[in-house]
Amino acid sequence: MSNKQLTHEIDHRNITLMWACKNGFEKLALTLISKVSNEVINYIDENNDTALLWACENKLEKVAILLINRMTNKAINQINNDNNTALIWACYNGLEKVAFKLIDRMTNKSISQVNNNRNTTLILACYKGIYKVALELIKHMTIDSINQINGLNQTALIWACINRLEKVAFELMNKMSNKVINQIDNNNNTALIWACENGLEKVAIELIERMTNIAINQSDDYNRTALDYAVKNKLTKVVDIIKYENITITNGLKFILKCCI
C-alpha cells in the first residue's frame, strides 16, 4: 500500500473505527475490523488513543479481543494522555478475558502504569473483584506499583479486603510495606477494618502483626473500629489479640507516666 493510499484509509476508515469504539457501537466496530488494514488497527491519534483503548473503556469485549489479535506490541502497550492503558480500562470494567490477553503482550513497565487518578491495574482489578487477574498482575508489577495509593487514599489491599479476596490479600502483604498496610482511606477505613467487617479472620491476624496501635484502633466514618466489627462477627482470635495489644499499650503508658511523676 502506498503512503497516499494509507493516508486516505487512515483519514477515512480509521476515524470510523475509532469513532465506533469511542461511542460504543460494537456491531459497527466488529464489521470494520474485518475490513481495515493492520495499519489502521494500530493507528494512534493525537490524544495517544487507540481503538483498543476505547473498546476497553466502553466494555466492548469482543471488539477488544479481535483488535488484540491484530495489533503490534507497541500499540497494545500504548499510554494515552490520561496515562491510561487498555489494561487499566479492562481491569476497571472487569474484562477478565481481555485482561489476560493484554498481560501476555505487555511489558512489566506498562502493566505497572499509574494513571492520572493514581490508580493501577492492580488496584482496579481488586476494586472489581477479579482475583485471578489480580494474582497474575502481582507477578509482573513493580514493588512501587504494588504499594501504590490512589487519589482516594485506597490501596489494592484495602480493595482486596472489601471484596473478600483472601488469597490476593496475603500475596499483597508479602510485598507491601508496613506504611502502606497501615493506610487510612478517605472514609477513615483501613484494610483491617474491612477484614474484620467481612469475616477474614486469618487476614486480620496477619494485618495486626504489621500495623501500629493507632491504625489498629482507627475508627471509620460510623465511629466503629476493627474491634467492633470483630466482636460483631465473632472473630474471637482477633478480639483477643486486639484487646491484648490495647492492654499492653495502656500498661506501657501507665508505666511511663509513673516514671515521670
The 10s digit of each residue's pLDDT in 49-100 is 999 999 999 999 999 999 999 999 999 999 999 999 999 999 999 999 999 9
Residue in 214, 213, 211 with CA at minimum distance from that of residue 191:
211
State how far the Cα of 89 lies from the Cα of 60, in Å rounded to an integer.
11
Share of the chain above pLDDT 70, in %: 89
Tens digit of pLDDT for each residue in 199-249? 999 999 999 999 999 999 999 999 999 999 999 999 999 999 998 877 554
Strand spans (E) along the chain: none
Sequence spans of domains, the chain = 1-117, 149-261
* The predicted structure's pLDDT at residue 251: 40
Residue in 42, 16, 44, 43 with CA at minimum distance from that of residue 30:
16
Residues 192 and 216: beta-carbon distance below 8 Å: yes
Average pLDDT, the chain: 91
pLDDT over 70 at 252, yes or no: no
Residue 165 — left, alpha, or beta (φ > 0 → left; ψ -120 to 50 → alpha)? beta
Query: Which of the four pLDDT bands, split at 50, 70 and 90, describes residue 116?
Result: very high
3-state secondary structure of 107: coil
Residue in 95, 94, 98, 96 with CA at minimum distance from that of residue 106:
98
3-state secondary structure of 172: helix
State how far the Cα of 117 lies from the Cα of 82, in Å rounded to an integer.
9
Q: What's the whole-model pTM score?
A: 0.88
pLDDT over 60 at 260, yes or no: no
- More confident: 16 or 155: 155
* The predicted structure's pLDDT at residue 245: 73
* The predicted structure's pLDDT at residue 257: 32
- More confident: 35 or 200: 200
What average pLDDT does range 147-172 have in this prediction? 98
Share of the chain above pLDDT 90, in %: 86
pLDDT over 60 at 4, yes or no: no
Q: H or E stretch including 12?
A: none
Are 1-117 and 149-261 the same fold in CATH? yes
CATH class of this structure's domain 1-117: mainly alpha
Q: What end-to-end distance do the CA atoms of the chain give, in Å?
A: 89
Please state, as a whole number, how many other Cβ atoms lie within 10 Å of the Cβ of residue 29.
27
Homologous superfamily (CATH) of 149-261 is: Ankyrin repeat-containing domain (1.25.40.20)
pLDDT over 60 at 29, yes or no: yes
State how far the Cα of 140 lies from the Cα of 161, in Å rounded to an integer.
21
